[in-house]
A and B are shown apart, each in its own frame.
Chain A
Amino acid sequence: MESPISQRCHHLLPSALLRALATGACACAGLLLSLASAAADAQRIEAGRAIAHDWYRGNCLACHQIPNDPQAETLADIGPPIVAMRERFPDRAQLRAQLWDPTVRNPLTFMPPFGKHGVLTEEEIDLVLDYIYQY
Chain B
Amino acid sequence: MNARRRRIARCWAGSIATLALAMVTIAFAAADDPEADRTRMIQFFEARFPDMPLEDYVYGAMISSPDARAQYEQIMEFPPFLNDLDAGRKIWEKPFANGRTFADCFPNGGHSVVGNYPYYDERAKQVVTFERALNRCLEDNGEAPMRYGEREPMGVLTAYARTLSDGMRMNIEVQSSEARAHYEAGRDLFFRRIGQLNAACAGCHMHLAGRIMRMEIISPALGHATHWPIFRAGEELMTFQGRFNRCMEQMRAVPYGYDSVEWNDLEYFLSYLSNGLPLQSSVFRK
Contacts and interface: CB of A to CB of B under 8 A. Distances in A.
Do A and B actually bind? yes
Interface stretch (A6-14, A31-39, A41-49, A70-78): A70-78
Interface residues of A, number: 21
Interface in A60-82: 61-63, 74-78
Given A103-B20, A110-B203, A119-B252, A62 B213 contact: yes
A117 B17 CA distance: 11
A107 B252 CA distance: 20
A65 to B, nearest CB: 10
A10 to B, nearest CB: 51
Contacts of B252: 119
Given A107-B16, A110-B203, A118 B196 contact: yes
27 contacts: A55-B214, A59-B214, A62-B213, A63-B213, A74-B214, A75-B212, A75-B214, A75-B215, A76-B213, A76-B214, A77-B211, A78-B208, A78-B211, A103-B16, A103-B17, A103-B20, A103-B198, A107-B17, A107-B19, A108-B23, A109-B20, A110-B207, A112-B196, A112-B199, A113-B198, A117-B196, A119-B252
Interface of A: 55, 59, 61-63, 74-78, 103-104, 107-110, 112-113, 117-119
Contacts of B213: 62-63, 76, 78
B197 A77 contact: no
B196 A78 contact: no
B208 A110 contact: yes
Nearest to B215: A75
Contacts of A113: 17, 198
Contacts of A118: 196
B198 A117 contact: yes
Interface of B: 16-17, 19-20, 23, 196-199, 203, 207-208, 211-215, 252
Given A59-B214, A62-B213, A103-B198, 20 more contacts: A61-B214, A74-B214, A74-B215, A75-B212, A75-B214, A75-B215, A76-B212, A76-B213, A77-B212, A78-B212, A103-B17, A107-B17, A107-B20, A108-B23, A112-B196, A113-B198, A117-B196, A117-B197, A117-B198, A119-B196
A70 B130 CA distance: 48
Contacts of A76: 212-214
Nearest to A110: B203
Nearest to B207: A110
Contacts of B203: 110
Contacts of A112: 196-199
Nearest 9 A-B pairs (CB), nearest first?
A: A112-B197, A108-B20, A107-B16, A107-B20, A75-B212, A62-B214, A117-B196, A77-B212, A74-B214
Contacts of A119: 196-197, 252
Contacts of B215: 74-75
A78 B197 CA distance: 15
A64 to B, nearest CB: 10
A79 B196 CA distance: 19
